[in-house]
Amino acid sequence: MACASSLIVEDNFLCAICLDVFTKPVAIPCGHTFCRDCITGHWETRKPLFQCPLCKKEYSAMPELCVNTVLDHASEKVKKTIQERSCNTREEAGSGNVLCGICTGTKLKATKSCLMCFVSYCDAHLEPHLRVSTLKKHKLINPVQDLESRICKKHDEALELFCRVDRLFICKVCKDGDYKAHKIVSVEEEADMRKALLGMEKKEMDQMIEAHQQKLQEIQHSVEASGNNAAKALAQSKHVMTALVDYIRRSQAELSEVIQTKQKKTEEETAGFIKELQGEIVQIKQKNAELDQVCGIDDPFEFLERFLSRNFDPPQVKDWSEMTLNSDQFTVQGLLMKLEATVTREIRLLCDPDLKKMQRYAVDVTLDPDTANPSLVVSEDGKEVKCGDRKRNVPDKPERFDHVLNILAKESFSSGKFYYEVQVKEKTQWDLGVTNQSINRKGDIRLSPKNGYWTIWLRKGNEFTANAGPAINLHVREMPQKVGVFVDYEEGQVSFYDVDARAQIFCFTECNFTERLFPYFGPCGHDSGKNLAPLIITPVKFNC
């Protein structure tokens, strides 16, 4: 944008008639200069009067026009300068800038718009509004492109006021008319108030951004810490498992050596016993042969003679009747089986490698609405159940639970193995397991294997229990989000798993199943709005 001094210089090269830079400037006798075409055209319309447009001096005939060659040359340079500047000005206008409405030829960027004149002004043309007392009273605003939008279409007055009732811009005439009883403020006052509100809202947004950024940092730090902990856990698990396997291998070697040593000692001891027994057997056989010889004499005289001449004392041998060998000293199968069961149980609580095999027995389980307590809501696909806001008006069928918030699956099983998974995420209370077909479904119910229920449950968000009769408190590293249920009918086994951790939660063993088994679900009540999430039967994803 040109400065004020440059504009003043350019004004010296402006024709007073066309208000543009001189084109072929000519001077008349009074000394004033105009464009040749401008002054001749001006006089053509006013014949026979020839008057100077500026000083009003009159001439009886058309004065002689003298070309001002110096001014003509300078005007051409000014035109070139303005043309070059015009390119930059057009770029500013194209970028959304408001241009001065008074500038002729090349228009400069406006700095203010007047709501009284409905014109936008550059710094140079705004000067009268800053100097003339009458113009000082005009309403100046930051330049706007569409000044017509600031004019009341009904009264052609400036929209200087704002109606807070109708949320509309109005003029002073509107205020005294239809909006007389409304709350009216100036546009500036309303804008200041709105800016203050936006400022407060922005402050809240800034605080929210800061809080979110802090939470983001916390999460990022948690992820980093989790990664470090995971790496430590992997390293520790590898170290512990390697040490455990090595210890078991060394124990196996040690046990083998102990067994072999004992066996060798036993063999050495028994070899002596055998040798001694064999020697005594020889003695006994010799004595027995002598007796056979005497007993074989038929002549009584000879028999007595031989009998009386021989020594028939019994052979000197040990009494072996009380002697026994301990063959049970190598019976370690029971201890080894107990050791295997203990180690397996502890490892399964940490991470069960057999869960993948159990997942291969996955079955499609669907909830049976005919068994659902009237307060329960079952999804159309039969995969979700939760406690509703009120009891439903449903038939009281024999298979329906009428008091407790329970429901069974449509599918039942009387042999083999089966597995299914249930999402318990965002719940503080739930029951899961399997039941006999003949269970009582009316009134209050006590969950235990004795009553035909093999279940676990969660209460108060952190009380985990196996309903084994008596109940067993369960301890887990973290509350499961998805529970897997595995049943081996023939083995009499019901196992529960934390699917995400792949760890066993609890296992009922030595169960004597004689009836059909039904998957059992209890979503429980709302728990003061904390237990609104449903139980969801989810597809089993095999972890190959």
Which H, E and C letters describe 373-431, residue by residue?
CCCEEECCCCCEEEECCCCCCCCCCCCCCCCCCCEEECCCECCCEEEEEEECCCCCCEE
Q: Give the H or E element holding residue 535.
A: strand 535-538
The reported pLDDT for the residue numbered 84 is 61
The reported pLDDT for the residue numbered 89 is 47
| CA angle 154–159–162, rounded 5-degree value | 110
Cis peptide bond prior to 470, omega within 30° of 0: yes
Which range has the top average pLDDT, 254-263, 353-362, 446-455? 446-455
Confidence of residue 145 (pLDDT cuts 50, 70, 90): confident
248 or 386: which leads in pLDDT: 386
536 or 296: which leads in pLDDT: 536
pLDDT at 154 over 50: yes
Average the pLDDT over each of 76-85, 95-104, 409-418, 496-505 and give the range with the smallest value. 76-85
Question: Using alpha carbons only, how large is the chain's radius of gyration in Å?
Answer: 56
What are residue 217's DSSP bridge partners?
none
pLDDT at 261 over 80: no
Q: Do the Cβ atoms of 151 and 118 come closer than 8 Å?
A: yes
Which residues are CB-neighbours of 88 under 8 A, at least 6 positions away?
A: none
74 or 528: which leads in pLDDT: 528
What value does the mean pLDDT of the chain take?
83
Quickly list DSSP for 1-65. Answer: ---HHHHHHHHTTB-TTT-SB-SSEEE-TTS-EEEHHHHHHHHHTTTT-EE-TTT--EESSPPPP
Backbone phi and psi for residue 141, each to the nearest 5 degrees, phi listed first: -135, 170
Give the mean model confidence (pLDDT) for residues 435-451.
91
User: What token pair was written down for 43?
Assistant: 């006089």
The reported pLDDT for the residue numbered 7 is 41
The reported pLDDT for the residue numbered 467 is 94
Give the span between the Cα atoms of 318 and 280, in whole angstroms. Answer: 8
Confidence of residue 396 (pLDDT cuts 50, 70, 90): confident
pLDDT at 330 over 60: no
User: What token pair was written down for 528?
Assistant: 């003061």
Average the pLDDT over each of 105-114, 324-333, 371-380, 434-443 and give the range with the smallest value. 324-333
Q: Do the Cβ atoms of 417 and 360 come closer than 8 Å?
A: no
Give the span between the Cα atoms of 220 and 226, in whole angstroms. Answer: 10
DSSP character at residue 181: T
Give the mean model confidence (pLDDT) for residues 256-273.
77
The reported pLDDT for the residue numbered 318 is 75
The reported pLDDT for the residue numbered 181 is 87
Confidence of residue 506 (pLDDT cuts 50, 70, 90): very high
Give the mean model confidence (pLDDT) for residues 85-99.
57
AA identity, residue 224: E
Which residues are CB-neighbours of 412 under 8 A, at least 6 positions away?
A: 437, 516, 517, 518
Percentage, residues of the chain above pLDDT 90: 33
Please name which of 82, 87, 77, 61 lies closest in space to residue 25, comparing C-alpha atoms: 77
Q: Do the Cβ atoms of 488 and 465 come closer than 8 Å?
A: no
pLDDT at 242 over 90: no
The reported pLDDT for the residue numbered 179 is 87
pLDDT at 486 over 80: yes
Query: Rounded to two decimals, what is the model's pTM?
Result: 0.51
Give the span between the Cα atoms of 140 and 123, in whole angstroms. Answer: 13
Confidence of residue 5 (pLDDT cuts 50, 70, 90): very low
Please name which of 387, 499, 494, 504 lies closest in space to residue 447, comparing C-alpha atoms: 494
The reported pLDDT for the residue numbered 371 is 95
Confidence of residue 482 (pLDDT cuts 50, 70, 90): very high
User: What token pair was written down for 537?
Assistant: 């039967």
The reported pLDDT for the residue numbered 293 is 80
Please name which of 279, 283, 290 lies closest in space to residue 312, comparing C-alpha atoms: 290
464 or 43: which leads in pLDDT: 464
458 exposure class (CB count in 10 Å sphere: 0-12, 13-18, 19+): buried
The reported pLDDT for the residue numbered 24 is 86
pLDDT at 310 over 80: no
pLDDT at 3 over 50: no
Give the span between the Cα atoms of 500 and 483, in whole angstroms. Answer: 8
Q: Do the Cβ atoms of 536 and 383 come closer than 8 Å?
A: yes
The reported pLDDT for the residue numbered 423 is 96
Give the mean model confidence (pLDDT) for residues 151-162.
85
The two beta strands, 119-121 and 112-114, are antiparallel
The reported pLDDT for the residue numbered 94 is 45
pLDDT at 505 over 80: yes
Confidence of residue 11 (pLDDT cuts 50, 70, 90): low
Please name which of 418, 452, 448, 447 lies closest in space to residue 437, comparing C-alpha atoms: 452
Establish how many alpha carbons lie within 13 A of residue 317's alpha carbon, considering only the half-sphere containing its beta carbon. 20
Which residues are CB-neighbours of 508 under 8 A, at least 6 positions away?
A: 449, 454, 466, 468, 493, 494, 495
Confidence of residue 4 (pLDDT cuts 50, 70, 90): very low
Which range has the top average pLDDT, 4-13, 175-184, 291-300? 175-184
AA identity, residue 297: I
Length of the chain: 544
CB environment 147-165: b (16+ within 10 A), e (fewer): beebbbeeeebbbbbbbee
- Please state whether 68 falls in left (phi above 0), alpha (psi between -120 and 50) or beta: beta
Give the span between the Cα atoms of 539 and 362, in whole angstroms. Answer: 9
Please name which of 130, 135, 26 lies closest in space to residue 71, comparing C-alpha atoms: 26
DSSP character at residue 132: S
User: What token pair was written down for 221?
Assistant: 């730090």
pLDDT at 331 over 90: no
The reported pLDDT for the residue numbered 82 is 61
The reported pLDDT for the residue numbered 348 is 61
